A and B are shown apart, each in its own frame.
Chain A
Amino acid sequence: MKKATGPVSHLTTPIRAWAHRFAFLILIVAAFALMLLGKADTVLVERARTAVTDAVAPILEIASRPVATVRDVLDQIRELTDLRAENAALRRENQRLRQWQAVAQRLEAENLALRELAQMVPDAGLRFITGRVIGDTGGAFARSVLVNAGARDGVAKNQAAITSEGLAGRVTEVGLRSARVLLITDINSRIPVLVGESRERAILGGDNTGQPKLLYLMPNSEIRPGDRVITSGHGGVFPPDLPVGIVTQASETAMRVQPYIDWAHMEFLRLADYDLPRQLSPSGEVAPAGPPMGALR
């Protein structure tokens, strides 16, 4: 590089340093502006987020495949080693489940009869969109995953994301080919739930730890460790009766829930499209949109 000499260099060096400092200050101000913008939660921020996730989705999808394959192979090896023990356990479980099946069939028939008797409005049908988990982002400050299904696949905001075990989270951002699912453990997650056999109403609120808290409980509610937690469907966003978790701690200070879901094996997520049948109402057998109470009259 040539060294600048003469009066020009005397001028350019301070100007350059000044410009550098100026750029730094502008970017600091820009960072603060972003914090305010993010807090205002405008459409613009969401668009920027979905643009980035849409852009990296194909790369993440390719990268996540080999990881999943290696993982599957390891799992298969482990399964092979304790095949006999697992077989025996499955036999026992099968026997137990057969009894449960009989009970469930009897209850379903009874339920149907009672529903007809009470002329209850049928629940909106569910349609599922399945997406592969391609991104596990967030670090210590947020809990969310990216799935490779987006608006073009019918994903919409606020759909419930579930696995065969239970509720995982809620769709918060939808791009064209990717979507972000806010997990129930995230600090911003709030889900209306019912607790235990007495079906106490509560809100399940995450706090970035593995076990979310139960909030806004009635003062004299009786909740014990071991109680089942399911979604309530209040607010009409989520389907009711999705399994969420089990109460592990029920003290004066905190009520905590251990989610059913096995985060380490969450390879696919099913996104429950709850409202669609009601909006489309193809055959008229589904109740028209509107509050169920009005439809009962």
Chain B
Amino acid sequence: MTDTAWTRLDGLARGLSPFALTLAFLMLVAVPLRIPDLSPILPAAGLIAVYYWIVHRPDLMPVWAVFLIGLIEDLLGGGPLGVGPFVLLVLYAAVASQRRVFVGGGFFLLWLIFVPLAAGAFVLSWVFSSLILDQFIAVRPVFFQYLTTVAFYPCLTWVFIQAQRAFLR
């Protein structure tokens, strides 16, 4: 009886690990590093994390978790509310509709696909944030944040691969 309860609890914890890990990364990029001009262009950790998990383990990154990650990112970041969840949901739909492309795709192929997908996500964020704020947001920082996001993709992905090996065999 208790044995099954423990296995269930264990399974639940393992199942929640992608979500928890993503939240941990959201907090990690918020820690002040005090490196000049870095903070505006820190990579969008939520975007990378959600992309990784909906490609590799869509069962552990359900649509409500995607929404929640976007919402927490918005609340924590102080930016326009609702844009984060919307963009991540669009990413979710884009990946779900082309699932055959991703299945069995190697690391480099997935990174290559991430480049235009992230560009689309940033353009969408920019358009909706500008609409909400009623003015054009400066493009340069957004573009640089896009570049760092694409560049940091391998680092974050490496951590997720280790986590997947450790917890989610």
B63 engages A20 (CB within 8 Å):
yes
Residues in A with CB closer than 8 Å to B114 are none
Shortest beta-carbon distance from A67 to chain B in Å: 6
Shortest beta-carbon distance from B58 to chain A in Å: 11
Chain B interface mostly helix, strand, loop or mixed?
Answer: helix
B32 closest partner in A (C-beta): A136
Stretch of A37-45, A98-106, A224-232 on the interface side:
A37-45
A62 closest partner in B (C-beta): B31
Within 8 A of A (CB), among B103-137: 125-126, 128-129, 132-133, 135, 137
Complex CA–CA separation, A53 to B72 (angstroms): 10
Complex CA–CA separation, A71 to B64 (angstroms): 39
Complex CA–CA separation, A232 to B41 (angstroms): 32
B32 engages A64 (CB within 8 Å):
yes
Number of A-B contacts (CB under 8 A): 159
Judged by a CB distance under 8 angstroms, whether B151 is at the interface is: no
B78 engages A142 (CB within 8 Å):
yes
Interface centre among A30, A31, A180 (most CB of B within 10 A): A31
Residues in B with CB closer than 8 Å to A267 are 32, 34
A181 closest partner in B (C-beta): B78
Chain A interface residue count, Cβ-Cβ cutoff 8 angstroms: 57
Stretch of B2-10, B48-56, B141-149, B155-163 on the interface side:
B141-149
Interface centre among A45, A59, A137 (most CB of B within 10 A): A137
B129 engages A141 (CB within 8 Å):
yes
A27-B89, A35-B83, A140-B141 given as contacts; is B31 within 8 A of A67 (CB)?
Answer: yes
Judged by a CB distance under 8 angstroms, whether A281 is at the interface is: no
- Of the candidates A27, A48, A138, A140, the one whose C-beta lies within 8 Å of that of B67 is A27
Judged by a CB distance under 8 angstroms, whether A56 is at the interface is: yes
B36 engages A139 (CB within 8 Å):
no
B27 engages A63 (CB within 8 Å):
yes
Judged by a CB distance under 8 angstroms, whether B86 is at the interface is: yes
Complex CA–CA separation, A144 to B78 (angstroms): 7
Residues in A with CB closer than 8 Å to B64 are 23, 27
Complex CA–CA separation, A39 to B142 (angstroms): 21
Residues in A with CB closer than 8 Å to B1 are none
A59 engages B27 (CB within 8 Å):
yes
Complex CA–CA separation, A40 to B64 (angstroms): 24
A27 closest partner in B (C-beta): B67
A138 engages B79 (CB within 8 Å):
yes
Complex CA–CA separation, A188 to B142 (angstroms): 17
Judged by a CB distance under 8 angstroms, whether A155 is at the interface is: no
B137 engages A56 (CB within 8 Å):
no
A64-B32, A139-B42 given as contacts; is B76 within 8 A of A208 (CB)?
Answer: no
Judged by a CB distance under 8 angstroms, whether A246 is at the interface is: no
A34 engages B44 (CB within 8 Å):
no
Complex CA–CA separation, A67 to B12 (angstroms): 33
Judged by a CB distance under 8 angstroms, whether A18 is at the interface is: no
A31 engages B70 (CB within 8 Å):
yes
Q: A1-43, CB under 8 A of B: which get 1 and which 0? A: 0000000000000000000100110011011111111110000
Residues in B with CB closer than 8 Å to A143 are 40
A187-B133, A209-B138 given as contacts; is B32 within 8 A of A35 (CB)?
Answer: no
Judged by a CB distance under 8 angstroms, whether A242 is at the interface is: no
Judged by a CB distance under 8 angstroms, whether A162 is at the interface is: no
B72 engages A52 (CB within 8 Å):
yes
Q: B15-38, CB under 8 A of A: which get 1 and which 0? A: 000000000000110111111110
Question: A residues within 8 Å of B by Cβ?
Answer: 20, 23-24, 27-28, 30-39, 45, 48-49, 52-53, 56, 59-60, 63-64, 67-68, 71, 133-146, 172-173, 180, 182, 187-188, 207-210, 263-267
- What are 18 A-B interface contacts by the 8 Å CB criterion? A20-B63, A24-B93, A27-B66, A27-B67, A32-B86, A33-B82, A37-B82, A38-B80, A38-B132, A45-B81, A49-B78, A63-B31, A133-B32, A138-B77, A139-B42, A140-B40, A187-B138, A209-B141
